[in-house]
A and B are shown apart, each in its own frame.
Chain A
């Protein structure tokens, strides 16, 4: 068919007999002309991961700057810190990569391991509640990475696995801050830190479910 001006003169194959097809064709062609080169999913994943890690860097920098980081304590938490950073990376990539069922399972297992390390790695910490409940700080810190992953998810059809993994990657930021600054015991970690993380995952799933995506591709 001629592609001289398909928008103005839709071909007879999809012309007046099928106005719906003519409209769909014109809209798709206009979109293609607006952005002729396809954007790779890897570029989107890299950009999103960079933003999430940048947020984490800012949070860690702020924590170190305000002297709330207990370095002696943090050295004992290297395993959970490492797992949380890995969760951020794998969670974002698994949420954005097309297909990749195995990658998603790996990210889900990593999330469970990271949550376990956050709880089990705690020794007997100080008693009494902190000045500000840890879960409040955790959720507040996670708002920025949560916004970042929700922005990335707008280009996907909704999927529970995708949203949950993106939420887990966002929640890892607050968990990292908690690992650096909070030395309370396992029960506290389970309720205030892992609980807050689950809250962020639930928020990510619900918010991404509510909004209409820009594309319905998986």
Chain B
């Protein structure tokens, strides 16, 4: 579904080329492909539903305005997630961490595919643990684990090296393991 083969007319890069030329249909396909994923990512990142909704709009406006700068190295998926991550980080910085709100059950109504399967209580514990991670680790874990980006894509989305992206994710997983230890050994 995502990057597709180079010659596939529905591949992200082929759609992006048409989109850069002003093709609305190509934009529609890309929008439908990524909007829900981005909304879920942003809600988890900023922990504020209305802010995440505003950021979704900001992300797509940026996607349209900056499409002339797209370079098909890491792919459209990494690029659009990098825009969302930049917007989320900027919003968190401007708002200040003290106003971050717990998500509670907000995530539930979003998930077309439940990101955390199994026991709902465990799923809720995972969500709560995720919110306790520092932003850099949370971004890396969300992109890699929840949205299935490869480490080169995560690195591109976070504007860092593959090694640094792996370190962030690894630290996040270690912290999650520690926070979820009571669920492993009840």
Interface residues, chain A, with chain B CB atoms under 8 Å away: 1, 3, 6, 13-14, 18, 20-21, 23-25, 27-29, 31-33, 35-41, 43, 98-99, 155, 157-159, 212-218
- Judge whether B22 and A37 touch: CB under 8 Å: yes
In the complex with contacts A41-B69, A217-B86, A20-B56 CB distance below 8 A: yes
Shortest distance from the beta carbon of B42 to any chain A beta carbon, whole Å: 10
Show 15 residue pairs from A and B whose CB-CB distance is below 8 angstroms, ordered by the A residue.
A6-B24, A14-B31, A20-B56, A21-B56, A25-B31, A28-B61, A32-B24, A43-B68, A212-B94, A216-B86, A216-B90, A217-B65, A217-B82, A217-B83, A217-B86
**Which B1-56 residues have C-beta < 8 A from chain A?**
20-22, 24-25, 27-28, 31-32, 35-36, 39, 52-53, 56
Inside 8 A of A14's CB, which chain B residues have their CB?
A: 31-32, 35
B173 at the interface (CB under 8 A from A): no
- Judge whether B62 and A217 touch: CB under 8 Å: yes
- Judge whether A3 and B25 touch: CB under 8 Å: yes
- Judge whether B39 and A20 touch: CB under 8 Å: yes
B181 at the interface (CB under 8 A from A): no
- Judge whether B66 and A32 touch: CB under 8 Å: no
- Judge whether A21 and B35 touch: CB under 8 Å: yes
B70 at the interface (CB under 8 A from A): yes
**B57, B67, B79, B90: the one within 8 Å of A38 (CB):** B67
- Judge whether B35 and A3 touch: CB under 8 Å: no
B167 at the interface (CB under 8 A from A): no
Closest A residue to B156 by beta carbon equals A99
Q: Which among B60, B63, B79, B83 has the highest number of chain A CB atoms within 10 Å?
A: B60
Closest B residue to A101 by beta carbon equals B161
In the complex with contacts A24-B35, A216-B83, A32-B27 CB distance below 8 A: yes
B58 at the interface (CB under 8 A from A): yes
Roughly how many angstroms separate A159 CA and B160 CA in the complex, as a whole number?
A: 12
Roughly how many angstroms separate A14 CA and B60 CA in the complex, as a whole number?
A: 14
Shortest distance from the beta carbon of B16 to any chain A beta carbon, whole Å: 10
- Judge whether B57 and A27 touch: CB under 8 Å: yes
- Judge whether B53 and A20 touch: CB under 8 Å: yes
Inside 8 A of B90's CB, which chain A residues have their CB?
A: 157-158, 212-213, 216
**B24, B39, B79: the one within 8 Å of A217 (CB):** B79
Shortest distance from the beta carbon of B174 to any chain A beta carbon, whole Å: 27
In the complex with contacts A3-B28, A98-B71, A28-B82 CB distance below 8 A: no
Inside 8 A of A28's CB, which chain B residues have their CB?
A: 27, 31, 57, 60-61, 63-64
Inside 8 A of B145's CB, which chain A residues have their CB?
A: none
Shortest distance from the beta carbon of B124 to any chain A beta carbon, whole Å: 23
Shortest distance from the beta carbon of B114 to any chain A beta carbon, whole Å: 17
Inside 8 A of B59's CB, which chain A residues have their CB?
A: 24, 216
Closest B residue to A43 by beta carbon equals B68
Roughly how many angstroms separate A126 CA and B184 CA in the complex, as a whole number?
A: 76
Q: A21-B39, A28-B31, A215-B66 are in contact. List 6 more A-B contacts (CB 8 A).
A: A20-B57, A21-B36, A29-B24, A29-B27, A38-B22, A216-B87
